[in-house]
Amino acid sequence: MSEPLLKIKDLIVEFPTRRALLRAVDKVSFEIAKGEVLGVVGESGAGKSLTGAAIIGLLEPPGRIAGGEIYFDGQRIDNLADEQMRHLRGKRIAMIFQDPLTSLNPLYRVGEQLIETIQTHLPMNKKQARKRAIELLDEVGIPAPETRIDGYPHQFSGGMRQRVVIALVLAGEPDLIIADEPTTALDVSIQAQIISVLKRLCSERGTAIMLITHDMGVIAEIADRMAVMYSGQIVEIGKTYDLIKNPKHPYTKGLMGSIPSMSGEVKRLVQIPGSMPRLNDIPSGCSFHPRCSKVFEPCYSKRSPQIKVGQSDVACWLYSEEDKK
Amino acid sequence: MIRRIIQSIIVMFVVALISFLLFRFVGDPVNQMVGIETTPEQREALRDKLGLNDPVIMQFFGFIKGAAQFDFGVSYQFKRPVAQMIAERAPATLELSLMSAIFALLVGIPMGVYTGLKRNSILSKFFLTVSLVGISLPTFLIGILLIYIFAVQLQVLPSFGRGEVVDIGFWSTGLLTVSGLKALILPSITLGLFQMTLIMRLVRAEMLEVMRTDYIKFARARGLSRTAINFGHALKNTLVPVITITGLQLGSVIAFAIITETVFSWPGMGLLFLHSVQNVDIPIMAAYLMLIGFLFVMINLIVDLLYVAVDPRIRVSGVSQ
Amino acid sequence: MSDMMEDKNIKEETNWFARAIDSDIFYSFTRSKLVMVAAFVTFAYFFIALFAPILATQNPFDLGSLDLMDGLTPPAWQEGGSSKFLIGTDDQGRDLLSAIMYGSRISLAVGFTSVFCAALLGISLGLISGYFGGFIDTLIMRIADIQLTFPSILIALLIDGTVSALFPEVRREDSAFWVLVLAISLSFWVQYARTVRSSVLVEKEREYVQAAKLIGLRPFIIMLRHVLPNVLGPVLVIATINLALAIITEATLSFLGVGIPVTQPSLGTLIRIGQDFLFSGEWWITIFPGVALAIIVLSVNLVGDWLRDALNPKLR
């Protein structure tokens, strides 16, 4: 198998506060292959965004990477100096954020921001860059790009703005895009459009995406593989289809069961009792055990390693015996 | 926009009203103007002549009309037309204010940018301490300290007066002579220190605020260089509120000039106003009030206009209204 | 199990001291040595000012006790100085150390009184403006806007001058204190009014006010009970910063000659007196009161700054 584009091993992200050392990402490991779309789901506060920020090196202090390794295209990047990391950003790894309005500088025209980004990564003069910018706007589906390129961000609608953001991110032609809740701030009808834009562009260019979201519908639409995060850890990771149809971890089961389905019989929606623990109050052993209906002896004291079940990896003690069957 | 203009007019009106009331009803203009021997009949005649027995409304309009034509009456103390006295001393104050503003901007903005970007360096902490001192110390104390160090001990700079001035038309300037320039240094720094610290703190706060925004985060995520982010994106966004506040400060600078002029015996409008308060010279007080009020209103209006020009969001929404 | 929990809760409630020590505010306070020093200095000043008559070696306000022959004595460590006048005397023979103590007394008195009056006026107007709304609200807020466009020094000067003009018969010495307090508090009430007003506007919409109205209770009183606690934090910060400003304003007005007169000099007046003697070599008359003024203002500002940061929920 060829080398994965992104490889994360036992990543730990911590926040030193006055009272305690809070661990927001607790030994997370996964890989993303070239051109693959990995969806990362979980409740708010599960550590998804921080993982993304850690990869691209934009963790806000006092947060910091306290352990683990991140490899990009075979090269270790978590220990790079900021200036070296900057050369990677935009050109090889890029990131887009939730709110397109606040992502764009309101005082500059869209074209200016595009041209600046293009010229940072590609050797072009202003005229060439402008031409390229118009092309990019066209690719993301902005009508009449030659005129709209001179507009200000507030003159675009929400969906259009997010397209501009995507255009900005594509300007450097990165290999990996980390998308942090790209559709959450948009209307439902626009969400579908943005997702299809992303899907199309990435299959055309072979860009890998790490799609962070809490919206299962988006994942089902576009992700090849899916990782479920809970309380700073990955509890299950595998092919999207497998996880949706055949969830193995009790938490994943709960998530899938809580999604209303249009087809099939109308069953009661599953609710997982309790809520995700706060960072300063994480349970011992498996952090999900207080809410788990299948909890048994090993869950209280030790955290389960990732266990291969079929094509997925599940971090649950239930499967360490079953596997041996 | 129209609302602002109407508001400005109202403020001017109120200021004019207060000035007028001051002028007319505080103290007795006639008694101030005549000697002891004047008979009551002569005083009555004078009152009539001055229009003091006319209905108050008429007097008010007369006052405003006079003000519009720069006629503010005659000073009690000096027996000279107020407008002329103010005009004579205006250049001194204006030059001083201008110099102090330039000082404040030239020093304040870079300091603010530096302390905003390099939050924890030693130099930043030093600048912040200086700013705390600048804000805490009253203007006159700073002036006295500067005099003590540079005029008394080191004896390199003068401690009073404007030095030699050159008359260009109706303006007398100290900028064209060495002694004039020297005389400007200490007063400008004194007057400008407070503004400088304000600007520095403002720029710093804005920089810190801006650096935390999403668009800066996104700019970093796109791989833009430090310089491009700090000076291209961050600085431009920072300057917008800075322009506003600085403009607003300009007005109070002219007011604070009173203190500086007192410390340095600078022959400007401020000193004139102070003497008029001490000697209860009402016409000068009223005139100064009108002038300052007008100035403030004008400045506020201009700053609003500037704000619209710089921030495109307001521009567009203003048009669509 | 639940009994134990209840006990624990009650215990936590009553042990406010432990909570105070454990709180974030106290933490940031002890963290910053500078602020602690500043607070200490501030309290030291209050103490000295309060007990000046006991601590000072001389009463500089008692004109009879002054001896002109003592005038212009340099500080004790300089040639010609004497240990009777530790940091020298002014031209009237006032012991400078005592003068500074008494002067601080007046400066602080003017400062506190002005801040108190400004707060009283501002809070009342803010409450009225916010609660009644309508014309009164607009009127008060317009006045506030107009007043805000002018710097406080100017307003204070004007009021000072106007009052003196209106009542020329009243002797400067007697009325100076109250004229100053009036002038300063009238220039500072606006910030209090605005803060209180916005709090009132928020609380007015809350359901308990509507409910109280239905029951027939005076919602005004109820709002006070809820608005005032909310408002206390910001008001305290405003007050601290205002105190420094009030002290500076008084000193400035005195320096300009329209404040506390020479017979009972405050720090500003002393500095004014001293400026004339700078060039003739009697530097102590200006410098020492100047240093005293600088220290007290800096300390109050530091405490106010820290208070503002500590009470700012955004920074926590």
DSSP string, A70-133: EEETTEE-TT--HHHHHHHBTTTEEEE-S-HHHHS-TTS-HHHHHHHHHHHHS---HHHHHHHH
Q: Give yes or no for B252 touching C (CB within 8 A).
A: yes
Of residues C316, C262, C310, the one with CA closest to residue C25: C310
The C-alpha atoms of residue A223 and residue A108 are separated, in whole angstroms, by 34
What are C53's two structure tokens? 């008559």
Q: Could you tell me if A317 and A290 lie in one domain?
A: yes
Question: Which residues neighbour B99 within 8 Å (Cβ) at sequence distance 6 or greater?
Answer: B184, B188, B192
Is A67 domain-assigned? no
What are A171's two structure tokens? 């300007």
**At residue A159, does pLDDT exceed 80?**
yes
Q: Could you tell me if A246 and A104 lie in one domain?
A: no
Nearest CB to A86; choose among B223, B232, B236 = B223
Chain B environment of A88 (Cβ under 8 Å): 223
Which helix (DSSP H) or strand (DSSP E) does residue A178 occupy? Answer: strand A176-180
Q: In this prediction, does ipTM exceed 0.90?
A: no
Q: Could you tell me if A184 and A299 lie in one domain?
A: no
- A191: domain CATH number is 3.40.50.300
Q: Which chains sit next to B, with 3 or more Cβ pairs under 8 A?
A: A, C
At A303, the amino acid letter reads: R
Range of the domain at C249: 25-61+87-315
Q: Could you tell me if A148 and A239 lie in one domain?
A: no
Chain C environment of B15 (Cβ under 8 Å): 146
Of residues C264, C232, C229, the one with CA closest to residue C98: C264
CA B303 to chain CA mean position, Å = 14
Chain B environment of A117 (Cβ under 8 Å): 222-224
Q: Could you tell me if A121 and A244 lie in one domain?
A: no
**What residues 125-164 of chain B have any CB closer than 8 A to a CB of chain C?**
132-133, 135-141, 144-145, 147-148, 151-152, 159
DSSP-derived secondary structure for B111-179: HHHHHHHSTTSHHHHHHHHHHHHHHHS-HHHHHHHHIIIIIIIS--S-SSS--S-EEETTEEESTTSHH
CA distances from A13 to A21, A22, A63, A302 (A): 10, 9, 7, 20
Chain A environment of B240 (Cβ under 8 Å): 107
Q: Could you tell me if A121 and A219 lie in one domain?
A: yes
In angstroms, the separation between the Cα of residue B247 and the nearest Cα of chain C is: 12
Is A10 domain-assigned? no
Inter-chain touch A172–B213, beta carbons under 8 Å? no
**At residue B319, does pLDDT exceed 60?**
no
Tallying the residues shown for chain C, one arrives at 316
Q: Among A58, A103, A170, A177, which would you mutate to test the B interface (most chain B Cβ atoms within 10 Å of its Cβ)?
A: A103
Q: Give yes or no for B247 touching C (CB within 8 A).
A: no
User: In this structure, are residues C270 and C99 in contact, taking their beta carbons and an 8 Å threshold?
Assistant: yes
* A to B CB pairs, distance under 8 Å: 81
Torsion of CA C123, C124, C128, C130, to 10 degrees: 0
Q: Give yes or no for B308 touching C (CB within 8 A).
A: no
**At residue A293, does pLDDT exceed 50?**
yes
pLDDT category, C6, cuts 50, 70, 90? very low
Burial of C78 (C-beta count, 10 Å sphere; 0-12/13-18/19+): exposed
The C-alpha atoms of residue B171 and residue B73 are separated, in whole angstroms, by 22
The CB-side HSE value for A185 (13 A sphere, CA atoms) comes to 18
Neighbours of C93 (CB within 10 A): 19
Nearest CB to C298; choose among B133, B263, B280 = B133
Is C142 domain-assigned? yes
Question: Which residues neighbour C183 within 8 Å (Cβ) at sequence distance 6 or greater?
Answer: C155, C156, C157, C159, C160, C163, C253
Q: Could you tell me if A107 and A131 lie in one domain?
A: yes
pLDDT category, B217, cuts 50, 70, 90? confident
pLDDT in tens, A66-95: 888 899 988 888 888 888 888 888 888 999
Give the residue from chain C lying closest to B292, CA to CA.
Answer: C150
Q: Could you tell me if A218 and A238 lie in one domain?
A: no
The C-alpha atoms of residue B248 and residue B243 are separated, in whole angstroms, by 9
Listing from the earlier edge strand, what are the strands of the sheet with A225-230?
Answer: A93-96, A176-180, A208-213, A37-41, A225-230, A233-239, A312-314, A307-309
Q: Give yes or no for C298 touching B (CB within 8 A).
A: yes
Q: Could you tell me if A242 and A312 lie in one domain?
A: yes
What are C259's two structure tokens? 């404040």
More confident site: B74 or C248: C248
Q: Among B17, B77, B93, B140, which would you mutate to test the C interface (most chain C Cβ atoms within 10 Å of its Cβ)?
A: B140
pLDDT category, B308, cuts 50, 70, 90? low
Is A122 domain-assigned? yes
**What residues 218-257 of chain B have any CB closer than 8 A to a CB of chain A?**
218-226, 228, 232-233, 236-237, 240
CA C176 to chain CA mean position, Å = 17
Q: Which chains sit next to A, with 3 or more Cβ pairs under 8 A?
A: B
Q: Give yes or no for C283 touching B (CB within 8 A).
A: yes
Q: Give yes or no for C124 touching B (CB within 8 A).
A: no
User: In this structure, are residues B36 and B310 in contact, taking their beta carbons and an 8 Å threshold?
Assistant: no
**At residue B317, does pLDDT exceed 50?**
no
From A14-23, A164-173, B287-296, C163-172, the region with the lowest mean pLDDT: C163-172
- C275: domain CATH number is 1.10.3720.10
What are B186's two structure tokens? 């200490």
The label of the residue with tokens 């003009």 reads C165
Count of domains for chain C: 1
User: In this structure, are residues B300 and B9 in contact, taking their beta carbons and an 8 Å threshold?
Assistant: no
Q: Could you tell me if A185 and A304 lie in one domain?
A: no
**A262 three-state secondary structure:** coil
Mean pLDDT, rounded, for A44-69: 85
CA-based angle A21:A25:A29, to the nearest 5?
140
Is A322 domain-assigned? yes
**At residue A152, does pLDDT exceed 80?**
yes
Count of domains for chain A: 2
Q: Give yes or no for B126 touching A (CB within 8 A).
A: no
Is A73 domain-assigned? no
SS3 content of chain C, % helix, strand, coil (to 5): 75, 0, 25
Q: Give yes or no for A177 touching B (CB within 8 A).
A: no
Mean pLDDT, rounded, for C112-118: 91
Nearest CB to B145; choose among C248, C290, C297 = C290
Tallying the residues shown for chain B, one arrives at 321
Q: Give yes or no for C83 touching B (CB within 8 A).
A: no
Q: Could you tell me if A135 and A208 lie in one domain?
A: yes
In angstroms, the separation between the Cα of residue A72 and the nearest Cα of chain B is: 16
Inter-chain touch B316–A155, beta carbons under 8 Å? yes
User: Strands A233-239 and A37-41: what pairing?
Assistant: unpaired
Mean pLDDT, rounded, for A127-141: 88
User: In this structure, are residues C185 and C152 in contact, taking their beta carbons and an 8 Å threshold?
Assistant: no
Neighbours of C253 (CB within 10 A): 27
Inter-chain touch B296–C149, beta carbons under 8 Å? yes
What are B183's two structure tokens? 């005389």
pLDDT in tens, B92-136: 888 888 888 888 888 888 888 888 887 778 888 888 777 777 777
More confident site: B127 or B319: B127
**Per-chain mean pLDDT for chain C:** 76
In angstroms, the separation between the Cα of residue A182 and the nearest Cα of chain B is: 13
Q: Could you tell me if A210 and A313 lie in one domain?
A: no
Is A277 domain-assigned? no
Give the model's pLDDT for residue A178.
92
Q: What is the DSSP letter of C95?
A: B
From A154-168, B171-185, C92-106, C160-174, the region with the lowest mean pLDDT: C160-174
Inter-chain touch A117–B222, beta carbons under 8 Å? yes
* B to C CB pairs, distance under 8 Å: 111
Can you state the angle between helices C267-275 and C96-132, rounded to 10 degrees? 130
**Per-chain mean pLDDT for chain B:** 77
Is C8 domain-assigned? no
CA C257 to chain CA mean position, Å = 21
* ω into A62 cis (within 30 of 0): yes
Range of the domain at A301: 234-260+283-325
- Whole-number percent of chain C with pLDDT over 90: 2
The C-alpha atoms of residue A24 and residue A135 are separated, in whole angstroms, by 40
The C-alpha atoms of residue B18 and residue B320 are separated, in whole angstroms, by 38
What are C19's two structure tokens? 């909570």
Is A182 domain-assigned? yes
Q: Give yes or no for C146 touching B (CB within 8 A).
A: yes
Chain B environment of A121 (Cβ under 8 Å): 223
Neighbours of B144 (CB within 10 A): 25
**A209 three-state secondary structure:** strand
The C-alpha atoms of residue B85 and residue B88 are separated, in whole angstroms, by 5
Question: Which residues neighbour B72 within 8 Å (Cβ) at sequence distance 6 or greater?
Answer: B66, B81, B82, B83, B86, B283, B284, B286, B287, B290
Chain A environment of B233 (Cβ under 8 Å): 105, 108
Chain A environment of B222 (Cβ under 8 Å): 89-90, 94, 117, 120, 168-169, 171-172
pLDDT in tens, C212-234: 777 776 767 776 777 777 777 77
CA distances from C68 to A3, C264, C265 (A): 96, 16, 16
Inter-chain touch A105–B240, beta carbons under 8 Å? no
CA A322 to chain CA mean position, Å = 31
* A1-15, B151-165, B280-294: which is most confident: A1-15
Is A15 domain-assigned? no
The C-alpha atoms of residue C35 and residue B41 are separated, in whole angstroms, by 69
What is the value of pTM for the model shown?
0.70
Is C119 domain-assigned? yes
In angstroms, the separation between the Cα of residue B221 and the nearest Cα of chain A is: 6
The C-alpha atoms of residue B82 and residue B241 are separated, in whole angstroms, by 37
Q: Which chains sit next to C, with 3 or more Cβ pairs under 8 A?
A: B
Give the residue from chain A lying closest to B218, CA to CA.
Answer: A103
Chain B environment of A172 (Cβ under 8 Å): 222-223
Give the residue from chain B lying closest to C284, CA to CA.
Answer: B148
